[in-house]
Amino acid sequence: MKQPLLNQAASSSVEETSTKSLFTDAGWFSIITFSWMGPLLDLGRRKTLDLDDVPLLDHNDSVHGVLPKFKPKIVSDSVRGQFTDVTSVKLAKVLVLTTWKLILITAVFALLSTVSAYVGPYLIEYFVNYLNKSSRSSKEGYILVLTFVVAQFIEGFSAKHLQFRSKQVGVRACSSLVATIYQKCLALSNQSRQSSSTGEMINVVSLDAECVGNFSRSMHDVWLLPVQIILGMLILYSALGLAAFAALAATVLTMVANIPLGTIEQNYQEKTMTAKDARMRAMSEILRNMRILKLQGWEMIFLSKIKDLRKVEMNWLKKNVYTSAMLLSVFFCAPAFVAMVTFGTCVLLGIPLETGKVLSALATFRQLQTPIHGLPDAISMIIQTKVSLDRISSFLCLEELPSDAVTKLPRGTTDVSIEVRNGQFSWNTSSQVPTLQDLNFRIQQGMRVAICGTVGSGKSSLLSCILGEIPKLLGEVKTCGRIAYVSQSPSTVCSDSIGSSQILSLLLLLRRENAIFQRLDSITVFFQGCPLKGSLDPF
């Protein structure tokens, strides 16, 4: 019985019945109060959540929504590929341009949260003076309490929305980078694949892209620091007078002490990522050649090599952590140091230390403690993000496959699935003898073709020229519709011949991964190896 590999109607019905995004249909009051999460939280209270219970992302937060905005700003028309002129500055600029609305919203929430946080320290002196009065007005007391409550409400409201929107910016940035890196991996040339191991590609996707996305939590800390210092100085000057400048000098001194430590931490971060790449490269090579290691009994030898690489990585990681600990130690001691300098200056200048002024100053020092403590983390995040952007931009600048290697025709324009005319291909373009030459063949739609030959006869190279992965010297390659390709690997094909059960497993793999291989116009399956055993009619 013949049936299509993928059922388009079934896949579309699954998409229609998928859980919609709760955030998309939420009203403004629901967004402000986060009540749009109520149905999901209630469902989680009643039963264990399954994957089908989790709602989808909003379209603007998904890859389908962010990639069309991100990719046109980062691609180029270079001969070497579409992502070959990318720099870290350009990458950061494009990320800002694609998420500038959310960044502006988070900046407003960050400013509101900062300003409202200093209302309490400013009102403490008024509270103390009000309580020390012999005759107190009820109206003045109500106004002070109401102002304090409103300020605390605005601070909490702004802080929660700042966290949510900042995470939203990070999700969009990370999704854009991961999708772009994935497309780059598919377009890498053979020379680029040899220069970049699988471990390096995994690190770029799993570590560097995630690090750039996590920077959204600290993106406002740098410009908020002067605002917080100015607000703190105004409160301290109104309470302590000229002693506030001593507090400013002590604060600046603690920040300057962070500069050399931050430079050292950046160097250790780069060394750590380099050592991690070396270890992942060795691990990938060992896993690919595990059969040889088992046959030769080399497990312990290569295990010792991995341990040596791990020791080098741990050495740089320890230095990085120790430097971060030194940064935290400096800034944890900063509030006590600032308070000591400020009150000492008050004693020397003869400024009276009244109860309200001391409490207001201590509350201000406590508010300044947050940005001072967060500054090392912000600087560390900037350093790590800079290193990750450099690594991502370097990866995106690798040479790509030529875009004109294969002419892709739309479905229905011809009944020929694959056609090669006067083809001449070579893995090494400088070689005098090409890998494949004088190729002329045509495959009609619906044909089943088996490429047979001895080891090293060029079967894989023939498939690579159809996929556009081998440099084309002469000729023309045309394909019609889309092609699904399952490469040969030791985990799927382990014998000299391919049985029908193995073919069936590959076809079932394609059928199960309908999110990747859906709505294929045509599928031409090439079996690498000896003639087929048994019969199978999947189409």
What pLDDT, on the 0 to 100 scale, is given for residue 245? 85
Write b or e for each residue in 132-152: b if 16 or more Cβ atoms lie within 10 A of its Cβ, otherwise e: eeeeeeeeeeeeeeeebeebe
CA angle (340 as vertex; 335, 345 as ends), nearest 5 = 130
Task: Please check the confidence at residue 134 and state whether its pLDDT lies above 60.
Answer: yes
Q: Are 399 and 271 in contact (CB under 8 A)?
A: no
What is the average pLDDT across 85-101? 88
Neighbours of 366 (CB within 10 A): 13
Distance of CA 11 to the CA centre of its chain: 29
Q: Are 386 and 81 in contact (CB under 8 A)?
A: no
What pLDDT, on the 0 to 100 scale, is given for residue 535? 33
What pLDDT, on the 0 to 100 scale, is given for residue 193? 76
What Rg value do the Cα atoms of the chain yield, rounded? 32
Q: CA–CA separation, 107 vs 101, rounded Å?
A: 10
What pLDDT, on the 0 to 100 scale, is given for residue 110? 92
* Average confidence score pLDDT of the chain: 77
To the nearest whole percent, how much of the chain has pLDDT over 90? 8
What pLDDT, on the 0 to 100 scale, is given for residue 112? 93
Q: Which residues contact 46 (CB under 8 A, 6 or more apart)?
A: none
**Helices within 241-289 (DSSP H only):** 243-256, 258-288
Q: Which residues contact 441 (CB under 8 A, 6 or more apart)?
A: 418, 419, 420
In the block, residue with structure tokens 């300044």:
368
Task: Please check the confidence at residue 93 and state whether its pLDDT lies above 50.
Answer: yes
What pLDDT, on the 0 to 100 scale, is given for residue 77? 53
pLDDT single digits (tens) 261-312 = 777 887 888 888 888 888 888 888 888 888 888 888 888 888 898 999 999 9
What pLDDT, on the 0 to 100 scale, is given for residue 519? 28
What pLDDT, on the 0 to 100 scale, is given for residue 105? 93
pLDDT band at residue 76 under the 50/70/90 scheme: low
Q: CA–CA separation, 237 vs 152, rounded Å?
A: 23
> At how many degrees (to 10) do helices 88-98 and 63-74 cross?
140
Least Cα distance to 299 among 286, 311, 281 occurs for 286
pLDDT band at residue 108 under the 50/70/90 scheme: very high
What pLDDT, on the 0 to 100 scale, is given for residue 78? 52
| Range among 39-48, 320-329, 356-365 rated most confident | 39-48
What pLDDT, on the 0 to 100 scale, is given for residue 458? 80
β-bridge partners, 440: none
Q: CA–CA separation, 58 vs 36, rounded Å?
A: 13
Single-letter residue type at 111: L
What pLDDT, on the 0 to 100 scale, is given for residue 315? 92
What pLDDT, on the 0 to 100 scale, is given for residue 508? 45
pLDDT single digits (tens) 196-248 = 777 778 888 888 888 888 888 888 888 888 888 888 888 888 888 888 888 88
What is the average pLDDT across 481-510? 48
SS (H, E, C) 424-459: EECCCCCCCCCCEEEEEEEEECCCCEEECCCCCCCH
| Range among 180-189, 315-324, 444-453 rated most confident | 315-324
pLDDT band at residue 18 under the 50/70/90 scheme: very low
Residue with more model confidence, 156 or 495: 156
Q: Are 55 and 24 in contact (CB under 8 A)?
A: no
What pLDDT, on the 0 to 100 scale, is given for residue 512? 38
Neighbours of 360 (CB within 10 A): 25
Task: Please check the confidence at residue 443 and state whether its pLDDT lies above 60.
Answer: yes
In the block, residue with structure tokens 């010297």:
473
β-bridge partners, 444: 416
pLDDT single digits (tens) 387-430 = 889 989 888 888 887 777 788 888 778 888 888 888 888 887 77
What is the average pLDDT across 126-153? 85
Sheet arrangement for strand 407-409 = 407-409, 472-480, 416-425, 436-444
Tokens of residue 139, six digits: 């109206």
Tokens of residue 435, six digits: 């890998």
What pLDDT, on the 0 to 100 scale, is given for residue 258? 72
pLDDT band at residue 497 under the 50/70/90 scheme: very low
Tokens of residue 79, six digits: 């001969």
β-bridge partners, 472: 425
Task: Please give the DSSP secondary-structure letter assigned to residue 291.
Answer: H
pLDDT band at residue 15 under the 50/70/90 scheme: very low
What is the average pLDDT across 316-331? 83
Q: Are 398 and 184 in contact (CB under 8 A)?
A: yes
What pLDDT, on the 0 to 100 scale, is given for residue 491? 36
DSSP string of 299-338?
HHHHHHHHHHHHHHHHHHHHHHHHHHHHHHHHHHSHHHHH
Q: Are 310 and 286 in contact (CB under 8 A)?
A: no
Distance of CA 475 to the CA centre of its chain: 40
Single-letter residue type at 11: S
Q: CA–CA separation, 257 vs 223, rounded Å?
A: 19
In the block, residue with structure tokens 């506030």:
244
What pLDDT, on the 0 to 100 scale, is given for residue 11? 44
